Structure 1
């Protein structure tokens, strides 16, 4: 079931699924309204007659105009939008285009324009007037006019959305919101709320098994998803211990070793295939189980902002502030333990789990390396680390923050030309230098 949910999440985030779904709904609406027109011979009167006279020529003219306009506007708007986003991606990174494609409003706008075009074609095809037959779908035509008015309003909203979606602050805020939602999904437990168990003795457990084999990747690419529930269930059924050596987000090549299997008897190729089916690979990383991916998106924006060609420390500082907020949240969550037990409380799977130090490294290592020539960004990094240090819940977290702070100080001592800037940074990093 978890694997199906993952595949469904990938499907609805594509750029084509929602538009096609809207087109299918438009086809159903056209058939339904045409059937309604066939049942009730509605003749427009009053205000409605001012909009649509009810003649066959009028219906053909209205529907032809709407269908031509909708497909033309859809092509023009999205061509210009993709050009603008391509230019923006050179500043923020190519992943910006993926964020645009996954944007629900963009998908709805594309689907709505194309759906209106298809709807008008179907209704237009049904209009007929001759000596033996006359069918003018008044209700269907009037619905097409209402859809056109709605599309005009949607076009205004869409242009406004695109205009603000490529602004640096908005891009960073969107990624920060996605990052925050992702972290709350992957790390829902607060410290003290998890059901922690004593750390098992892996050497003792492994010695109970006579066979040792390796688990190879079934295909190459980025590991996008691991169905841990399915893996644990299979491991319990086969009475094995599985030690995974990679986690979602890692890149593997076909037949690369991704784990070790300890068993009482040799594992059959069919059972190995069952285990490998719990792993999903792809050409790119996703956020559903890869907690570091959204962080890397933010880091990429900061790194590009600090490049000599752009030299925008304000954008980098904004990225640091948002990463600080995320890491402050991570100081009070319960990171999942690497041990997975079956229903009988027997250890079956040991995963490569995330740690606070690993998340801190992903957030600040590359920014520190790119920011050595920007004292303002380095000073903001120290301020962010000081805030994280204040909110850290245990000694390991504080030691990781202090280590990063000392690395920043050493980098500043080598690259800062102004002594006052270096002194300012050291004063803010006293919390780490005194330990």
Structure 2
């Protein structure tokens, strides 16, 4: 249940309206809170603040914050559009959840709401002596917060939506998701070893991408019915109503239809892939940026080379995995989860680049050097997968590059030829 609410909060936090809404609620609360100090010991300690001085500050805030809020929204929309057009539409969710921009917009709108509520309360003589003083302090603090937030936001908006910044943001989100996967690859459940005997097939009820799997809910279902559940899908997989999403041993006290409904309810399906629980999606998004850069209309191999470096850094999260991985605590012992093969990560990261950049010797040399670097990571399966990917990339280049000296140079750099 805790994980479900955390997943729900993450989805809310990705919505552009959520943080401004929270700030608006807090602003109303702060404007009315000052009244609570009236009639307390503070009346004898605080100076008497004239109503006109507070009204002047509040009028300044109310007159400027709405304009700045509109300007902020316009600038953010332009940045979102630029990120979609110059990088990939898959980067939109990363850019729209930029913390600095959301915090700035929330501060501006919250300040406007605070000034309106406080002005109305002040005009109706809602505050006493100490209430006015506390309101005056709140207003001064709000002024300072707005100025600092604006300066910070101006620096961010100058970079938001630019290609290099978008690449950095996507890499950061991908690293967070991949680190989570590396630490807990089987979601606190068992890996799949053998097929279940006399198994029941559970098919999907929705069409879309798997966004989240509530393994704890599946564990509860399995315990209640004394069964084993073997998943056949992972976050990022596209499923439909004929997809076998899971297998389970026969349940004695629950019908197949009810069991199917409950298991499907534990698997969240949506129209798009999500970064949080899908460790491969970050690689896909970065590869799409590189693919667009390598298109004939753009012809920007430098961006593709930069993307290869980003992908290489992500793979190095597997370095010394046995030393850094936390002990896999199996808390869901009645659930089995399939593994993601390392060659799938390599294909997501580099196959589009090797396909669209096959004729560019600079890109292919950088790609082969990345494979060589990845093969040196202290992970038993990466060396073999990197050699296979290196061979495929070289063969693509061999069919596209006609200049013999370039091919000889690429052959020297190729991992599988060494």
TM-score (norm 1): 0.83
Alignment correspondent of 1:352? 338
Please name the residue that 2:210 is paired with. 223
Q: Specify the SS of the correspondent of 1:165.
A: coil
Is residue 353 of structure 2 the alignment partner of residue 367 of structure 1?
yes
Distance in 2, Cα, partners of 1:213 & 1:307: 47
2:50 alignment partner in structure 1: 54
Q: Contact 1:340–1:350 (CA<8 Å) still a contact in 2?
A: no
The farther-off stretch of 252-261 and 170-179 is: 252-261
Q: Is the 8 A contact 1:63 1:141 kept in 2?
A: no
Contact 1:223–1:281, Cα closer than 8 Å, also in 2: yes
Distance 1:141 1:41 in 2: 14
The alignment status of 1:417 with 2:375, answered yes or no, reads no
1:324 to 312, 329, 346: 312
Query: Are 1:126 and 2:121 matched, yes or no?
Result: yes
Alpha-carbon distance between aligned partners in 1 of 2:128 and 2:229, rounded to the nearest angstrom:
72
> Quick check: 233-242 or 75-84, which moved more?
233-242
Runs of at least 5 residues in structure 2 that lack an aligned partner in the other structure: none
* Cα drift, residue 81 of structure 1: 2.7
Mapped to 2, the partners of 1:97 and 1:397 lie a distance apart of: 31
Is 2:417 aligned against 1:433?
Answer: yes
Change (3 A) 1:30 1:370: same
Contact 1:54/1:138 (<8 A) preserved: no
Q: 1:417 to 1:59 in 2, by over 3 A?
A: same
Give the match for residue 234 of structure 2.
247
Distance 1:196 1:275 in 2: 15
Q: What is the CA–CA distance in structure 1 between the aligned matches of 2:157 and 2:403, rounded to whole Å?
A: 42
Q: CA deviation at 1:270?
A: 2.9
Distance 1:218 1:340 in 2: 31
Query: Does structure 2 conserve the Cα–Cα contact (< 8 Å) formed by 1:225 and 1:281?
Result: yes
Alignment of 1:327-342 (within 5 A): 327-330=315-318, 332-333=320-321
* Alignment correspondent of 1:290: 278
1:30 positional shift: 0.8
RMSD (Å), alpha carbons = 3.3
Alignment CA distance shift 1:189-1:96 (3 Å): closer
Q: Does 1:399 align with 2:384?
A: yes
Return 5+ residue gaps in structure 1 as ranges: none
Looking at structure 2, the residues matched to 20 and 93 of structure 1 have their Cα atoms a distance apart, in angstroms, of: 29
Q: Find the aligned partners of 1:169 and 1:86 in 2 and give their Cα distance.
A: 15
Instruction: Tell me the residue number matched to 1:67.
Output: 62
Q: Which residue of 1 aligns with 2:11?
A: 10
Cα 1:427–1:129 shift into 2, 3 Å: closer
> Secondary structure at the residue paired with 2:159?
helix
Give the 3-state SS of the residue equivalent to 1:224 in structure 2: strand
Match in the other structure for 1:306: 294
Q: Compared with structure 1, are the counterparts of its residues 121 and 197 closer, same or farther at alpha carbon in structure 2 (3 Å cutoff)?
A: closer
1:166 counterpart SS class: coil
Deviation at 1:365, TM superposition (A): 1.1
* Counterparts of 1:81 and 1:275, CA distance in 2: 40
**Is the contact made by 1:38 and 1:137 (CA closer than 8 Å) also made in structure 2?**
no
Q: Is it true that 1:214 corresponds to 2:201 in the alignment?
A: yes
Of 172, 178, 184 in structure 2, the residue corresponding to residue 177 of structure 1 is: 172
- Rg larger in structure: 1
1:352, distance to aligned residue in structure 2 (A): 2.8
Cα distance in 2 between the residues matched to 1:233 and 1:308: 53
**Structure 2 vs 1, CA of residues 108 and 37 (structure 1 numbering), >3 Å: closer, same or farther?**
farther
Partner of 1:168: 163
Query: How many pairs does the alignment contain?
Result: 408
